Amino acid sequence: MSMTMLLLLLMMMMGVMMMTTTGRRRRRTVVVLDQVVVVVVVVLVVVVEVVVVLVV
């Protein structure tokens, strides 16, 4: 469980950094794309957690 929590924190940090950097540089469409990417990353993290729980 500690590994999954670390992965969650890393993914959240990456998402926040991506949104902040692109928010400074570019326009609204890129921000929307970043939100979609963050949602996809969150879904992937949830899937990984489920797989780990099932395997363990």
Query: What is d(CA 8, CA 17) in angstroms, rounded to the nearest whole number?
Result: 14
Global pTM reads: 0.45
Given a contact cutoff of 8 angstroms between Cβ atoms, the answer to whether 21 and 5 are in contact is no
Domain total of the chain:
1
What is the tens place of the pLDDT at every residue in 12-42?
Answer: 777 777 766 655 555 666 667 767 777 887 8
Q: How confident is the model at residue 9 (pLDDT cuts 50, 70, 90)?
A: confident
Answer whether residue 8 shows pLDDT above 70: yes
| Domain extent at residue 20 | 2-55
pLDDT at 1 over 60: no
